[in-house]
Amino acid sequence: MTETASINEWTLDECNDHLVDYRQKRIRNSEIVNNIAKRIFTLNSNWSKIKDKHAALEQCCMASIDCGDGGFAGRIFKLIEHDFPRDSSRRSERLYLMFFENTQIDDVINNRDDIIEKHPTDQIVLKRDITTLMDHGDIEGAIKELCRHLETYQCDEDSWAFLADLYIDQGQYEKASFCVEELVMKNPYTSHYHIRLAEIYYTWACLDQGNQSQSQILENYNSAKFHYAHAVRLTMKQPQGSNMRALFGWMQTSKALNSLRNNRKDQDAIEDEKKIVSFTEQQMSKTNMQNFKQGEQTEDYVTKMMEELKV
């Protein structure tokens, strides 16, 4: 309420500056943007003095839809449609369909299919379809549409990452690992993707114990160990040292591998894993807990975890 009252005192330049700043930083902030739009209507009803007028109108219209303020969103949309009628502007048509996503989803999807048929390279429409299906709980439909999208746009990293998340939610770790492997191949020096892939393999191996052959479980653990180790190598020269998450994952994976091995037959491999555990413990012990900027609770938790592991 205090922030809304403050916005009601802003000048047109202040409204302008905030909208531009949110667009540049890609901040949604729908409630604040919606209040800014209302303030602009009182200061400049036809929005003629607004920078990038139509981009600002679209931004505010989407914010009003997010806030469930359909009547006000319609008022903003009239200004857009005055300059860009729906029958001649695909962008206006896409925005107009958002008004009915919660009430007439089937009609919205059919209309979007018509747009995609006429303009098969329109990624925004297809992605909006995917998010709409997600909102309505149709995960399988969202996965199907996302796979169709990636058949054409194989370099869309955000879509690969999102598809991996959907497969993980469904417990389909083999398919999720394939998606993240695509990201790793495109970004071999990005430690985050290696850690993400390692975590998928590690979880997959843990859940398969008792359901799959030991060789398959060992293979998944070894894949996890490889990607954790590579993430450690990639981050070792950073000022703050190796990535703690990668170190901890590498250590836990080595311990898991040893728990599955035969003490008589695999003695050499067991000794190698023990060396890895020793190395990761040494690296973790060098970590300055003050580097954790998420509050004392996080620092206490990590410290306790390391003490329990005798690091």
Q: Is the pLDDT of residue 288 over 70?
A: no
Q: Which two tokens stand for residue 288?
A: 């300055």
Q: Pick from 250, 259, 257: which is nearest to 283 by CA? A: 250
Q: Is the pLDDT of residue 223 over 90?
A: yes
CB 160 within 8 A of CB 150: yes
Encode pLDDT of 15-30 as tens digits: 999 999 999 998 888 9
CB 60 within 8 A of CB 37: yes
> How would residue 34 be classed by pLDDT, with cut points 50, 70 and 90?
very high
| Greater model confidence, 260 or 169 | 169
Question: Which of 44-48, 147-151, 197-201 is predicted most confidently?
Answer: 197-201
Distance separating alpha carbons of residues 58 and 87, to the nearest angstrom: 17
Question: Would you state the pLDDT for residue 311?
Answer: 45
pTM more than 0.75: no
Question: Would you state the pLDDT for residue 282?
Answer: 67
Q: Is the pLDDT of residue 305 over 80?
A: no
CATH 1.25.40.10 in the chain is located at 101-188
The 10 Å CB-count burial string (b at 16+, else e) for 34-43 is bbbbbbbeee
Superfamily of domain 101-188: Tetratricopeptide repeat domain (1.25.40.10)
Strands (E), 185-253: none
Distance separating alpha carbons of residues 79 and 77, to the nearest angstrom: 5
What does each C-alpha distance from 207 to 180, 195, 211, 217, 227 come to in angstroms? Answer: 19, 18, 8, 9, 19
> Roughly what angle, to the nearest 10 degrees, separates helices 53-66 and 90-97?
20
Q: Pick from 236, 237, 239: which is nearest to 280 by CA? A: 236
Question: Would you state the pLDDT for residue 96?
Answer: 86
State the average pLDDT for the chain.
83
Percent of the residues in the chain that have a pLDDT greater than 90, as a whole number: 36
Q: Rounded to a whole number, what is the distance in angstroms from the first to the last CA of the chain?
A: 49
311: DSSP letter: -
Q: Concatenated DSSP letters for 91-116?
A: HHHHHHHGGGTTT-HHHHHHHHHHHH
Mean pLDDT (whole number) for 123-129? 81
Distance separating alpha carbons of residues 127 and 118, to the nearest angstrom: 16
* HSE-CB of 203 using CA atoms within 13 angstroms: 14
Question: Would you state the pLDDT for residue 165?
Answer: 93
| Greater model confidence, 241 or 93 | 93
Q: Is the pLDDT of residue 4 over 60?
A: no
| Greater model confidence, 216 or 14 | 14
Q: Pick from 167, 186, 185, 184: which is nearest to 176 by CA? A: 167
With a CB cutoff of 8 Å and minimum separation 6, the contacts of 196 are 164, 180, 183
